[in-house]
Copies of this chain bind each other. A is one copy, B any other.
Amino acid sequence: RSAEMAKLTQLIDNEVFRAYATYTVIVLLKMMLMSLITAYFRITRKAFVNPEDTAVFGKGESAKKNLRTDPDVERVRRGHLNDLENIVPFLGIGLLYALSGPELSTALLHFRIFAGARIVHTFAYLIPLPQPSRGLSWAVGYAVTILMAYKVLKTALYL
């Protein structure tokens, strides 16, 4: 039993894999934060999409007028969807990249730039910063993911 655990945890003892774990958790927590920001704007702007969500603000017409879209809510939701579209590829490609035996320093560089780019992207989207801030931060995260994908294919290609 404990020998088996030792073997299993060998993965989490590897430094490259620990770096992957750390930065993956960071970007996933950042993505999860978008849910809270959406909820915050829905409540403060009184802009809901489900009739049952407006009940706390009274019944009838006064509740119905809270069933509406709000520009700030929609902006956070777009940022959240953009996270999904970009962090899902990182989740899969980053894992395979971490298992493909990269140099620790190279792997750290990729993970740090990706996480940094996604954090800048969130600020650029929510504040919002003038373009091309958001476009560039998106492109940096995208490019890092492509580079990791190339390394995975070079190491593991089996069609």
Contacts and interface: CB of A to CB of B under 8 A. Distances in A.
A53 interface: yes
Contacts of A87: 88
A5 B101 contact: yes
A136 interface: no
A131 B55 contact: yes
B32 A142 contact: yes
Interface residues of A, number: 65
A101 B9 contact: yes
A70 interface: no
Given A12-B101, A152-B25, A131 B91 contact: no
A74 B95 CA distance: 31
A7 B17 CA distance: 13
Given A52-B128, A55-B131, A130-B55, A100 B12 contact: yes
Nearest to A78: B49
Interface of A: 4-5, 7-19, 21-22, 24-25, 28-29, 31-32, 34-35, 49-50, 52-53, 55-56, 75, 78, 80-81, 84-89, 91-93, 95-96, 99-101, 128-131, 134, 142, 145-146, 149, 152-153, 155-159
